[in-house]
């Protein structure tokens, strides 16, 4: 390896805004540890399922009537978030604000539908271990959506204040990563809780 | 994105004065509460963790008085339960890991040639939450309801039915709070290691201590959530009547054990690997040669961290797991001794091929190797399933875990204090008192814990608050009690030495040990900005290059000054080539406010005061927003 040139002056960027930014590394680490948390929750689900003496889930698989469209809503919000972020990379402020607004709306719809689903459900967190798992896992995910929404609200406020530009959008990028992660976790939760019992037949 | 031109220069008085003004913490209360200086935070970590060590030690002393002879009733059974539980919780969670975080926080930027950690405010948060989680756990004594079901809190004994009262709620919520501190700390170490190294400090030039802390930081990211999940389940079962661990409603008690030990065994390596790393760095200084087998020791460190995730069920051999599982975990537990053996042979070879200078840190390092081998052998023994069946939950296991945790953690840590405290305070500790300190601790420790193997082999179960006479345990227990007080006296000598050195210790100067790494190239104690100019590193031992006949290639006396604000250099992840100038934050009260809000939330959840929990959560959101607002 060649010695870094320290004898001559060199020009360096101040605070890179890409994947070399410490804040980006930090968000990736946060995502890794949060992903592990959901993996352990799902471990609990599969562990208790594998040793269940009766049917698992005890009440049959949870209904898809609301959950499937709701999954599509959340996926769509990842699309709008991506749209917003790619806009600010090119300095397009209007599209950034529109994209953030759409993402917040879709995220709020997701949480609302989840509330309706809870309301309609014929079992609760105290009904049995399955209910405890179902509500804890989907509830923790819902809490993550809520935190994501708070982050989006702050980023939106900053977007309206004109904090971001083509070369200055790290907060948008990091929030986008977190939001995509929350969507991905939902896909894992949805596959485990809603789809896997159907595969087992 | 802006850019700036960095110009290399030599240190000058004017430059030092300018940097001092930029980096100094504000005087007064605001500075005390708002400082983000990694050296201050590191020292706070060390002092706080040591205070918890003393508390845990007092709890142990009370238990040893009780067990000194048969049928003693100094403590009642409930008191005894609270003491042994809090002793374990304190030592494992509030001492062993935070003390290493203290060394890492103080030392990392100095080892790296950097001016601070990647996220100085996160560092402050990590400390405040650690402190508050410790106070939260200890506040349980104020209401007479300290955790009392053992540090691994097995269900169903910890479920609401069998453990009413707040005891185990303090445990579950206190540990969840503590995971926040440990996790943000780990993230800070990982990002610092990959973005903040001095130019030229490629990954193969990192001190082994950094490999240790870096490995354990990754382990923290992936292991700690298992504890969080377990404690969330426990709290929900207890507070909301859920059924995670209730077999009558589809739950299962082994779910707790699996989750707890999936966390618990990696945690064992989390609290020893950085300590092993510290020894790998300071032992060679007293052998007057570089560590033998640097690459092997670095790889052994990483592979121990990874293998540590595959051995958790060896804590569960007696639970009736299928033979296929126990066989797998038994084999894995034996395999994990291989990287440990690599490290042990590297230390022995370093002593063998070196010219040992027997100073106090060397004594502690050598004692550490001996205790590591004894603890390792009893560990291999219990990795064998039938042997484990015989000895599980006896004092043999207690002896084993104390050899590992005191041997590998505490002896390494006290040695590290003798080595690095002069860097922190500018004063040397007394060498004479240091020798007394080591020998009293070493003799006391072995007197206490070597006979304990026998006590266990003779069948004494752990955690009993007293025992009848005539079972053959009486003399052994008396010896253990005497040994534990000798050991405590040894620790007291250390404290006396620290106290004495503050006024009377010889002035250390920058490099009292003629040691090879960057922290020894700057004054003791270091100035607020650490390095006047950012050094450029061309080997693993920048201060030994001349002695080793390599020619002085590293440049410590000329480099970028970065003196237009709180700035340090960001370098590339593997080769550490200069990439960017990083602006570092000023002092801030947000970390303290966030720590307080999280603690308020924990108390709200503890007492079922939901308005309080909600207020704490809302305040946390405000604090995070205020923190991140530009």
Give the pLDDT of residue B1: 60
What are the helix and strand counts (H, E) for chain A?
A: 6, 1
A8 pLDDT tier (thresholds 50, 70, 90): confident
Q: Where are the domains of chain B?
A: 33-588, 589-630
Give the pLDDT of residue B167: 96
SS (H, E, C) B403-440: HHHHHHHHHHHHHHHHHHHHHHHCECCCHHHHHHHHHH
> How far does A42 lie from chain B, in Å, by closest CA?
10
Q: What is the pTM of this model?
A: 0.96
Q: Given an 8 Å threshold on Cβ–Cβ distance, is A25 in contact with B195?
A: yes
Q: Which residues of chain B have pLDDT under 50?
A: none
Chain B residues within 8 A of A3 when measuring between CB atoms = 200, 536, 538, 553
The string of pLDDT tens digits covering residues A40-56 is 999 999 999 999 988 89
In percent, the amount of chain A with pLDDT more than 70 equals: 96
Nearest Cα residue to B107 out of B117, B96, B93: B117
The 8-class DSSP code of residue A153 comes to: H
Q: Given an 8 Å threshold on Cβ–Cβ distance, is A10 in contact with B6?
A: yes
Chain B residue with minimal CA distance to A47? Answer: B255
CA-CA distance, B505 to B499, in Å (whole number)?
Answer: 9
B477 in Cβ contact with B398 (< 8 Å): no
The string of pLDDT tens digits covering residues A134-159 is 999 999 999 999 999 999 999 999 99
B98 in Cβ contact with B45 (< 8 Å): yes
CA-CA distance, B409 to B129, in Å (whole number)?
Answer: 23
Give the pLDDT of residue A10: 85
Bridging pattern class, strands B3-6 and A10-13: antiparallel
Phi, psi of B555 (to 5 degrees): -110, 105
Chain A residue with minimal CA distance to B118? Answer: A22
Q: Given an 8 Å threshold on Cβ–Cβ distance, is B221 in contact with A33?
A: yes
How far is the first Cα of chain A from the last one, in angstroms, to the nearest whole number? 59
As given in the structure block, the two tokens for residue B21 are 């003004």
What is the total residue count of chain B?
630
What's the distance, CA B116 to chain centroid?
Answer: 20
Nearest Cα residue to B603 out of B621, B591, B617, B589: B617
Report DSSP letters for B177-212, one per residue.
Answer: HHHHHHHHHHHHHHHHHHH-PPTT--GGGS-HHHHH
B-facing residues of A in 66-125 (CB < 8 A) are 125
Chain B residues within 8 A of A36 when measuring between CB atoms = 221-223, 225-226
CA-CA distance, B43 to B101, in Å (whole number)?
Answer: 10
Give the pLDDT of residue A201: 56
A17 pLDDT tier (thresholds 50, 70, 90): confident
Interface check A41 vs B, CB under 8 A: yes
Query: Does the pLDDT at position A5 exceed 70?
Result: no
> Which residues, 6 or more positions from B306, have their beta carbon under 8 angstroms from its beta carbon?
none
Give the pLDDT of residue B116: 95
CA-CA distance, A49 to A52, in Å (whole number)?
Answer: 5
Q: CA torsion sign, B489 to B494 to B497 to B499?
A: negative
Interface check B186 vs A, CB under 8 A: yes
The 8-class DSSP code of residue B69 comes to: S
Can you name the CATH fold of A62-199?
1.20.120
Residue in A7, A29, A125 closest to B221 by CB: A29
As given in the structure block, the two tokens for residue B6 are 């960095």
> Which residues, 6 or more positions from B157, have their beta carbon under 8 angstroms from its beta carbon?
B149, B163
How many other β-carbons are positioned within 10 Å of the β-carbon of residue B356?
Answer: 16
Where helices occur in B113-242 by DSSP H, the ranges are 120-138, 167-195, 208-240
What is the total residue count of chain A?
201
* Mutation for B interface: A12, A140, A189, most B CBs within 10 A: A12
The string of pLDDT tens digits covering residues B410-427 is 999 999 999 999 999 999
CA-CA distance, B545 to B554, in Å (whole number)?
Answer: 8
Give the pLDDT of residue A1: 40
B97 in Cβ contact with B182 (< 8 Å): yes
Does the domain at B33-588 match CATH 1.50.10.10? Answer given as no
**CA atoms within a 13 Å half-sphere pointing along the CA-CB vector of B204:** 7
Chain A residue with minimal CA distance to B188? Answer: A26
CA-CA distance, B200 to B209, in Å (whole number)?
Answer: 18
CA distances, A153 to each of A34, A107, A147, A175, B28 (Å): 21, 11, 10, 10, 36
Give the pLDDT of residue A3: 47
Chain B residues within 8 A of A29 when measuring between CB atoms = 186-187, 190-191, 221
What number is the ipTM of this complex?
Answer: 0.96
């Amino acid at each position: 390896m060649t010695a870094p040139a320290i004898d001559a002056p060199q020009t360096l960027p101040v605070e890179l805004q890409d994947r070399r930014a410490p804040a980006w590394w930090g968000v990736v680490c946060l995502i890794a540890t949060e992903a592990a948390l959901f993996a352990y929750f799902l471990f609990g689900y599969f562990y208790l399922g594998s040793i269940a003496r009766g049917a698992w889930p005890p009440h049959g698989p949870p209904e898809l009537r609301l959950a499937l469209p709701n999954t599509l809503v959340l996926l769509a919000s990842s699309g709008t978030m991506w749209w917003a972020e790619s806009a600010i990379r090119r300095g397009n402020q209007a599209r950034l604000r529109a994209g953030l607004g759409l993402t917040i709306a879709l995220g709020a719809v997701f949480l609302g539908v989840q509330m309706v689903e809870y309301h309609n459900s014929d079992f609760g967190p105290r009904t049995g271990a399955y209910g405890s798992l179902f509500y804890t896992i989907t509830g923790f995910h819902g809490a993550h959506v809520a935190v994501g929404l708070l982050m989006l609200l702050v980023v939106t406020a900053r977007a309206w204040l004109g904090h971001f530009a083509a070369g200055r959008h790290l907060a948008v990028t990091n929030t986008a990563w977190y939001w995509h992660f929350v969507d991905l976790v939902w896909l894992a939760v949805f596959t485990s809780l809603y789809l896997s019992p159907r595969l087992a037949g | 994105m802006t850019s700036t031109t960095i110009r290399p220069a030599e240190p000058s008085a004017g430059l030092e004065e300018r940097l001092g003004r930029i980096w100094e913490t504000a005087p007064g209360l605001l500075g005390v509460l708002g400082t983000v200086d990694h050296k201050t935070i590191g020292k706070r970590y060390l002092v706080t963790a040591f205070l918890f060590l003393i508390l845990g030690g007092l709890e142990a002393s009370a238990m040893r008085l009780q067990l000194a002879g048969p049928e003693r009733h100094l403590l009642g059974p409930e008191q005894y339960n609270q003491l042994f539980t809090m002793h374990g919780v304190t030592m494992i969670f509030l001492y062993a890991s935070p003390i290493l975080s203290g060394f890492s926080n103080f030392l990392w930027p100095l080892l790296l040639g950097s001016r601070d950690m990647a996220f100085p405010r996160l560092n402050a948060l990590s400390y405040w939450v650690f402190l508050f989680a410790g106070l939260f756990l200890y506040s349980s004594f104020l209401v007479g309801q300290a955790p009392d079901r053992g540090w691994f809190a097995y269900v169903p004994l910890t479920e609401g039915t069998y453990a009413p009262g707040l005891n185990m709620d303090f445990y579950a919520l206190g540990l969840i709070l503590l995971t926040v501190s440990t996790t943000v700390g780990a993230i800070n170490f990982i990002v610092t290691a990959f973005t903040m190294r001095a130019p030229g400090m490629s990954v193969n030039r990192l001190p082994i201590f950094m490999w240790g802390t870096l490995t354990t930081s990754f382990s923290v990211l992936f292991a700690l959530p298992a504890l969080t999940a377990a404690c969330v389940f426990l709290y929900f079962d207890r507070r909301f009547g859920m059924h995670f661990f209730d077999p009558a409603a589809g739950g299962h008690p082994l779910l707790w054990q699996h989750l707890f030990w999936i966390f618990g065994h990696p945690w064992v390596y989390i609290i020893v690997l950085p300590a092993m790393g510290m020894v790998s760095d300071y032992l060679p200084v007293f052998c007057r040669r570089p560590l033998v087998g640097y690459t092997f020791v670095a790889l052994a460190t990483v592979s121990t961290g990874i293998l540590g995730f595959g051995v958790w069920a060896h804590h569960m051999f007696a639970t009736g797991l299928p033979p296929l599982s126990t066989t797998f975990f038994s084999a894995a537990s034996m395999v994990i001794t291989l990287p440990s053996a690599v490290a042990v042979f590297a230390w022995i070879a370093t002593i063998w091929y070196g010219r040992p200078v027997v100073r106090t840190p060397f004594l502690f390092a050598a004692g550490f190797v001996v205790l590591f081998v004894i603890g390792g052998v009893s560990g291999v023994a219990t990795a064998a399933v039938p042997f484990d069946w015989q000895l599980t939950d006896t004092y043999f296991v207690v002896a084993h875990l104390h050899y590992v945790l005191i041997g590998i953690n505490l002896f390494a840590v006290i040695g590290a204090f003798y080595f690095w405290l002069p860097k922190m305070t500018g004063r040397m500790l007394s060498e004479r008192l240091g020798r007394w300190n080591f020998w009293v601790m070493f003799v006391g420790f072995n007197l206490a814990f070597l006979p304990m193997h026998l006590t266990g082999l003779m069948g004494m179960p752990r955690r009993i608050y007293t025992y009848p006479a005539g079972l053959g345990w009486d003399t052994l227990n008396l010896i253990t009690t005497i040994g534990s007080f000798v050991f405590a006296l040894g620790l007291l000598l250390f404290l006396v030495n620290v106290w004495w050195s503050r006024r009377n210790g010889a002035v250390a100067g920058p490099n009292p040990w003629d040691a090879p790494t960057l922290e020894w190239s700057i004054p003791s104690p270091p100035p607020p900005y650490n390095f006047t100019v950012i050094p450029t590193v061309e080997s693993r031992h920048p201060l030994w290059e001349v002695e080793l006949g390599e020619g002085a290639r590293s440049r410590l006396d000329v480099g970028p000054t970065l003196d237009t604000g709180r700035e340090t250099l960001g370098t590339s992840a593997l080769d550490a080539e200069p990439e960017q100038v990083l602006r570092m934050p000023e002092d801030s009260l947000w970390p303290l406010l966030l720590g307080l809000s999280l603690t308020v939330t924990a108390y709200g959840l503890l007492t079922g005061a939901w308005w309080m929990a909600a207020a704490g959560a809302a305040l946390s959101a405000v604090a995070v927003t205020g923190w991140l607002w530009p």
